[in-house]
Amino acid sequence: MDVDDLERKHFMKTLAVFKYYRPYALKRVSEQTEIYEKLSERHKALIPDFLVAMQNIKKCIEANAFFISQILRNAKPDIFEGDHFLSNQHDAIENFVKSGVVNPQSDFAITSSDLDKVYSVLKQFVRDWSSVGAEERKQSYGPVLEEIKKLYWSSDRQLSDIRILVPGAGLGRLAWELANCGFSCQGNEWSLYMLLPAYFILNTCKKVGEYTLHPWATQFCNNMTRDNQTAAVAVPDVVPTDIPAGVQFSMVAGDFVEVYSEPESWDCVATVYFIDTAHNILDYLETIWRILVPGGYWINFGPLLYHFADIPGQDSIELSYEELKKAIKLVGFESVKEEVKIPSTFTQDPNSMLHYHYHCVLNVLRKPPSAKK
């Protein structure tokens, strides 16, 4: 297989995984029901509401599957203008999307960790495009937006001339917020699991609350009530196409280090929960340094979870924050501001009995105006 074939296969597999969400999620409910059926009558009598709860969860999964079908309906080859591996694939994709249930054992070897990505997408919609996610956005996007406004709102330049790049843009909310403020902004994202839903929400969604998700429907543990598990979340909370006139806003697919090689092409790079997604975080540092104009800023917010840690066969170099800071300095950046231990969550169900809290760092870093090419 050549590179185009591999890319096409990866694209089709992503569609297959999205399609497999429904049977996979429903299977989890069936398993719970089967275990219930094996209980003694005495035990069944102790949990009289159990089967009703399972029926309600099924309905939530069906609603999620409908939402996913809308994402797939819009998964058109022309999403990726730069890439040619999907040219002439229009009919093939459309037929695949319309076809019946995917067999997970067939062409694609779909694993539970593939499905986890779809579960994450639903939760990421809450984070990026619902009012339930407002608190999380305030914690993580908030400080970054604030720093950028402080840096540029008092400058002589037109905001729409200031070019900001958001690597690891996910479903696009931070990039959208920056564009909505008047900056020219480009989001970059590698994962198709994010790119297809991002395209859908940014380009086809026309009104507030157009869709209803049940992001916690497949979360069977740490529920205070079944109502928490079946909670409905409306998306989006804003109209994603609302961008001021004259502002450039785009999303670009691909690996950050490969896509962005043009030196001194960005005024600002904003990274939120991104830098730990690298195989080699030093590549990210050097790429950010290279593409910033002299005097440009890098605003960073996040933990150091290291995406590839413990994934067999994948290189991953895991630095402490102290080592990372030293490397940032050695690359040449000046530290304008540093805050540590900023509490922040990521796609957290506010009602769960289990919460993941990150103690994040916020960095405002500057490529000195005197820096040479």
Q: Which residues of the chain form contacts with its own copies (CB under 8 A)?
A: 32, 35-36, 38-39, 43, 45-50, 53, 220-226, 228-229, 276, 280, 282, 285, 303-306, 309, 315-323, 326-327, 330-331, 340, 352-361
Instruction: Quote the least distance from Cβ 114 to its own copies, whole Å.
Output: 15
The backbone torsions φ and ψ at residue 165, rounded to the nearest 5 degrees and listed phi first, read -110, 135
Instruction: Quote the least distance from Cβ 185 to its own copies, whole Å.
Output: 27
Instruction: Quote the least distance from Cβ 273 to its own copies, whole Å.
Output: 12
* Smaller CB separation from its own copies, 111 or 250: 111
What does the DSSP assignment read for 82-115?
Answer: T--TTTT-HHHHHHHHHS----TTSSS---HHHH
d(CA 124, CA 356): 15
Instruction: Quote the least distance from Cβ 199 to its own copies, whole Å.
Output: 31
Amino acid at 279: H
Measured in residues, the chain has a length of 373
* Smaller CB separation from its own copies, 43 or 206: 43
What does the DSSP assignment read for 304-326?
Answer: ---TTTT-TT-------HHHHHH
* Smaller CB separation from its own copies, 317 or 371: 317
Tokens of 39: 């209980």
- CA dihedral sign of residues 147, 150, 153, 158: negative
Instruction: Quote the least distance from Cβ 39 to its own copies, whole Å.
Output: 7
Instruction: Quote the least distance from Cβ 341 to its own copies, whole Å.
Output: 8
* Smaller CB separation from its own copies, 157 or 373: 373
* Smaller CB separation from its own copies, 99 or 112: 112
Q: What is the H or E stretch that residue 285 is in?
A: helix 281-291
Q: Are 165 and 184 in contact (CB under 8 A)?
A: no
d(CA 167, CA 281): 13
Instruction: Quote the least distance from Cβ 134 to its own copies, whole Å.
Output: 20
Tokens of 352: 């769960």
* Smaller CB separation from its own copies, 111 or 158: 111
d(CA 49, CA 44): 9
* Smaller CB separation from its own copies, 193 or 289: 289
